[in-house]
Structure 1
Amino acid sequence: MRFNNIVVLTGAGISAESGIKTFRDSNGLWENHQIEDVATPEGYQRNPALVHQFYNQRRAQLLDPKLKPNSAHQALAQFELQHKSKGGRFLLITQNVDNLHQRAGSESLITMHGQLQKVKCPVTGKNLSWLKDLTAADLCHCCKNPQPLRPDIVWFGEMPYLMDDCVDALMQADLFISTGTSGQVYPAAGFVKIAAESGAHTVELNMEATRGDFAEGYYGPAAKIVPAYLSKLS
């Protein structure tokens, strides 16, 4: 086994081939909305109804029977199973808030930006599964004075989930793979540096090169290059 401890970071590009749009369009909009209006705590405070509507639409998309994990999601799940069966260690960190990695069978998974199919109490942080529309009338059951539930999504200005666990894994990895992500949004953009400085081999699998600090790079559609690269490691 050339690499024992593998960490993979995925971004919106890996789900794009399943029909989920990437985070923002070339004009800087997210599904025709300003990022500041639908992906910040301030936007939520200004217009919670708009934010609920936005995420309700995204959540409903996940229930579309036509939406399925693609071969990149499936290859990662299959590789994890095989690698761990040989005694290897594997962690998948995703910036995506869809459920395609879970549906493909990934188990060692950190959803650092939250999940569309969960909501949380803004006071206690407790979350729960949620498949239907969310409105301001939906309240938590964990506070003495019930609070309006909010999408369990990490917005700009908020700290991603389980960052200490992510950094610990990166510092122990001997292989770091980044796929489907622009490498521009921190803190995930800094993962390659953490891994490389800790001695890991670093690989970018993407539509095109995003930066110059990976040891290797393979470029093309995720559904093609991710399975191809992982097959070389098996």
Structure 2
Amino acid sequence: MRLRHFVAAALTTVLAAPTALLTTTAPAHAATATTIVGGTEGKPWIYRSSSTAQQPGVTVYGDRIALSIEVEANGSQVYDGTLTVQRRLPGHGWKTIKTSDSAYLYDSTTAVGNADYRVLYSGTADYAPTSAGVSAKVQRKLTIKNVGTRRVVLDGKVAPKYHGKVTIFTQHGKKWRKYKTVRSNKRSHFSTPLPAPRRGKYYWKVEIASSKAFAKTQSGRFYTYSS
């Protein structure tokens, strides 16, 4: 019996639209207004840049998140001033993760969970300070494979550390039905046998429910069959 994966959907930007995460006070002097913009053509200032996970949906734990930040005033790039990029995880305060001594930054960070991000521009005597913020959903990394020989045995590993429920669904026509729920152990590992038909294929997917720290985790569709 065998288990096969479907290739995950094309990499997409999954960071949410800008939200009102902070406010700034207008300077007393008539400094020129500024705006945070993306430094990569066609991209916002923060976006998912790469992923090794074969999971549909939102950004996966461990994915690289690009920071491509520039400051503009009246349509022209500003170079003076400093930038500070901060991240806020659920239940925590703002933490600085990147800084720049100039008004531009081209770097990256790692997705560690649901978070708010903001970038703060210091401003100068000529240019007003400004800021921008976004919220990002992140799912856990889920690795699955078949470790059986004469029958399919689904073997899964979750990251980061997770000791809890893992739900397996089977597809009936266009609908998905819960097949069983298992629990990962203290090493974030789970294992369970899956049936395979004598003819044709059975289709499956694995999910972990969302929490404050992580979005719903999805394996993507895979199937079992007999050979």
Q: TM-score with structure 2 length normalisation?
A: 0.21
Bigger proportion of residues as strand: 2
Larger radius of gyration: 2
TM-score, reference length from structure 1: 0.21
